[in-house]
Chain A
Amino acid sequence: MKMASPLDEKAAPSPLPTERHKSFGRGVRNMDVVWRDKINAYLRAHRYELVRSLRTLLSAPFSSVITILVIAIAIFLPIALVIIVNNIQLLGGNWDGRPKMTVYLQLDASENAILTAKQTVLALPGVESVNYIPADQALEEFKRHSGFVDILYELDENPLPAVLVVVPDKIGLSNDGSKVLLRQIETLAIVDSVQYDLGWVHRLNSFMALANRFIVVVTLLFSVGAILVVGNTVRLGIENRRREIIVGKLVGATHSFVRRPFLYLGVWYGLGGGLVAWLMAELGLFALSGPMVELAALYQANFQLQGFGLINSALMLVCSGLLGWLGAWLTVAHHLDEIEPL
């Protein structure tokens, strides 16, 4: 056994890192150097745990995959609901959330009379704006938006009347205001008929509100589920690594050092779950998009399933990571302090 003198290493002790300066420091040093050391040591510690935690994850691929799949399912369901509701909303057509009143004018109304009527309507209480669509334009739009192009080309006369599209304001949308407005417009001589399906709008509105609330509840529930799954897995991890935790504390590991690998583990689980959920959603959309296009084509309509979008996907992944972190943090806060060397 070689017996070198213990402390006579040639190289001078390397610039001592970090925390040691705090209370057991070895004299004053240039503040900049101290800070650079601290930041370097901090980054190093994180890089170290990043690699280690990934390796831990990969060292037990089977249980990691199961945990990640469970989390993925918990995250997938809310995502799927959001996508479905979004697409229903889109399918609702050009509907921008506010009902409009479609006022069909007499076929023989003169341009002048129509413009006067437009001003009259605009002055009514409950009206925000009025848009005049001449008969020609109405025909064009009808051709563009409906599936009846072929039939219309065979007609030589425009069967459509000119239309005033009335956008109601709050008063015009209220139950009483809408009735009054409707009556006032209907009594104008130039008006042939008015279409204002407030009931349908209300039904759709309340359905959407319900759906959104449902999504919120489901998201909350499943987030709690994901947090619990991560928490439980991390708890098992803490049990398995008891020895490591105790030894670390014995040789001077701080709380954050002991905590860090588990927090990283939680983040990986969350991110992994989020990623798999996202893949599931995209695959699902891909599988549905073919049949959907065919279905739309049957109505000569042009409808495309909307996915989650780039920003929402990124946001979803960040949230998944945070969920994992939170699950790990809660467990760690609860269990790690109990493990003290004896």
Chain B
Amino acid sequence: MSSVHFDQVYKRYENGHEAMRHVTFQVNRGEFVFITGHSGAGKSTLLKLIMLMERPTRGQIFVDGKNLKSIGSRAMPYFRRSIGVVFQDHQLIPDRTVFDNIALPLIISGYPDKDIGRRVRAALDKVGLLKKENYYPIALSGGEQQRVGIARAVINKPTLLLADEPTGNLDPELSNEIMELFMRFNRAGVTVLIASHDRSLVQALNYRTLQLEHGSLIEEEVVA
């Protein structure tokens, strides 16, 4: 069964810009897929459409078989909790510590304190930031902020993980480690969609790649 299914999706922003032109594709459950393309090709738009930050102008999107059209504003928060998202611009709360930032999805879902502490520390451990749980985001490097975002994205054990340029601020060594982390999640059954324009990284990893150009899906490379 498909995890994400785009059916003739067309998106025009309010200013008239066509960011997505009749895009159709399917990502199966448990797949690991890259989305590539030049800057402004529509990678972020595609991910935003999946997590309901934007709605398509035409066409349909299904996530886990559910038509996103049927998800109204009341159901949206619960839908978002089932997806982990790493944002291109991190989206951290500046006046909350690393720990509190990562704990936010759990607090929102109403987990007991003791579970929160345990799970946040496990996530911090995974991204190598255990010693910085009491830091504020501003005191972290770009790469460290990125990793906080990753830890927050996986804290709720999502079945679908979206990452927008997750290695954008990382040196090659660290970005390999982060990719390794995503692959481990993927091996545990999580569907992973990563937007990246880092060609070398994408090519090195030999995964299925959706290439966007000016909002159109121009190429589907299925390697290996």
Could you list which residues of chain A lie within 8 angstroms of chain B, going by C-beta atoms? 1-9, 11, 13-14, 16-20, 22-24, 40-42, 44-45, 48, 243-244, 246-255, 257, 341-342
Instruction: Tell whether, in the assembled complex, residue A8 and residue B93 are in contact, meaning their CB atoms are under 8 Å apart.
Output: no
B223 in contact (CB, < 8 A): no
**Chain B minimum-CB-distance residue to A4:** B126
B29 to chain A, nearest CB (A): 15
Taking A7-B188, A20-B78, A23-B79 as contacts, is the C-beta distance between A341 and B53 under 8 angstroms? yes
**19 intermolecular pairs with C-beta atoms under 8 Å apart:** A3-B180, A3-B184, A5-B188, A6-B126, A7-B185, A9-B119, A14-B111, A14-B112, A19-B77, A23-B75, A24-B79, A24-B82, A44-B113, A244-B95, A246-B91, A247-B93, A251-B156, A252-B79, A341-B91
Partner of B109, one of A40, A252, A341: A252
Separation of A257 and B108 alpha carbons in the complex (Å): 7
B94 in contact (CB, < 8 A): yes
Kindly list chain B residues whose C-beta atoms are within 8 Å of the C-beta of A42.
110
A332 to chain B, nearest CB (A): 16
**Chain B minimum-CB-distance residue to A47:** B113
Separation of A243 and B100 alpha carbons in the complex (Å): 14
B180 to chain A, nearest CB (A): 6
Kindly list chain B residues whose C-beta atoms are within 8 Å of the C-beta of A22.
75, 78
Instruction: Tell whether, in the assembled complex, residue B94 and residue A243 are in contact, meaning their CB atoms are under 8 Å apart.
Output: yes
B219 in contact (CB, < 8 A): no
Partner of B108, one of A1, A4, A251: A251
Kindly list chain B residues whose C-beta atoms are within 8 Å of the C-beta of A11.
118
Instruction: Tell whether, in the assembled complex, residue B109 and residue A17 are in contact, meaning their CB atoms are under 8 Å apart.
Output: yes
B152 in contact (CB, < 8 A): yes
Kindly list chain B residues whose C-beta atoms are within 8 Å of the C-beta of A18.
109-110
Kindly list chain B residues whose C-beta atoms are within 8 Å of the C-beta of A7.
157, 185, 188-190
Kindly list chain A residues whose C-beta atoms are within 8 Å of the C-beta of B107.
45, 48
Instruction: Tell whether, in the assembled complex, residue B78 and residue A3 are in contact, meaning their CB atoms are under 8 Å apart.
Output: no
B95 to chain A, nearest CB (A): 8
Interface centre among B108, B111, B180, B189 (most CB of A within 10 A): B108
Separation of A18 and B87 alpha carbons in the complex (Å): 26
Separation of A327 and B73 alpha carbons in the complex (Å): 25
Per-residue 0/1 for B57-88: is the Cβ within 8 Å of any A Cβ (1 yes, 0 no)?
A: 00000000000000001010111111001010
**Chain A minimum-CB-distance residue to B54:** A342
Number of interface residues of B (CB under 8 A): 48
B12 in contact (CB, < 8 A): no
B62 to chain A, nearest CB (A): 14
Taking A18-B110, A45-B110 as contacts, is the C-beta distance between A243 and B80 under 8 angstroms? no
B221 in contact (CB, < 8 A): no
B96 in contact (CB, < 8 A): yes
Separation of A341 and B187 alpha carbons in the complex (Å): 31
Within 8 A of A (CB), among B141-197: 152, 154, 156-157, 177, 180-181, 184-185, 187-190
Partner of A251, one of B94, B105, B125, B177: B105
Separation of A23 and B81 alpha carbons in the complex (Å): 11
A237 to chain B, nearest CB (A): 12
Kindly list chain A residues whose C-beta atoms are within 8 Å of the C-beta of B180.
3
Kindly list chain A residues whose C-beta atoms are within 8 Å of the C-beta of B108.
248, 251-254, 257
Instruction: Tell whether, in the assembled complex, residue B110 and residue A6 are in contact, meaning their CB atoms are under 8 Å apart.
Output: no
A139 to chain B, nearest CB (A): 76
Instruction: Tell whether, in the assembled complex, residue B78 and residue A23 are in contact, meaning their CB atoms are under 8 Å apart.
Output: yes
Kindly list chain B residues whose C-beta atoms are within 8 Å of the C-beta of A44.
110, 112-113
Contacts beyond the supplied A17-B110, A45-B110: 9 A-B pairs with Cβ under 8 Å: A5-B184, A6-B185, A20-B109, A24-B79, A24-B81, A44-B113, A248-B108, A250-B80, A251-B152
Separation of A253 and B76 alpha carbons in the complex (Å): 9
Kindly list chain A residues whose C-beta atoms are within 8 Å of the C-beta of B188.
5-8
B52 to chain A, nearest CB (A): 10
Instruction: Tell whether, in the assembled complex, residue B125 and residue A2 are in contact, meaning their CB atoms are under 8 Å apart.
Output: yes
B53 to chain A, nearest CB (A): 6
Separation of A44 and B51 alpha carbons in the complex (Å): 27
Within 8 A of A (CB), among B184-220: 184-185, 187-190
Kindly list chain B residues whose C-beta atoms are within 8 Å of the C-beta of A48.
107
Kindly list chain A residues whose C-beta atoms are within 8 Å of the C-beta of B152.
251
Kindly list chain A residues whose C-beta atoms are within 8 Å of the C-beta of B78.
19-20, 22-24, 252, 254
Instruction: Tell whether, in the assembled complex, residue B126 and residue A247 are in contact, meaning their CB atoms are under 8 Å apart.
Output: no
Instruction: Tell whether, in the assembled complex, residue A6 and residue B184 are in contact, meaning their CB atoms are under 8 Å apart.
Output: yes
**Chain B minimum-CB-distance residue to A240:** B95
Partner of B80, one of A2, A16, A17, A251: A251
Instruction: Tell whether, in the assembled complex, residue B110 and residue A252 are in contact, meaning their CB atoms are under 8 Å apart.
Output: no
Interface centre among A7, A22, A342 (most CB of B within 10 A): A7
Separation of A9 and B180 alpha carbons in the complex (Å): 18
**Chain A minimum-CB-distance residue to B115:** A14
**Chain B minimum-CB-distance residue to A244:** B93
B140 in contact (CB, < 8 A): no
A250 to chain B, nearest CB (A): 6
B40 in contact (CB, < 8 A): no
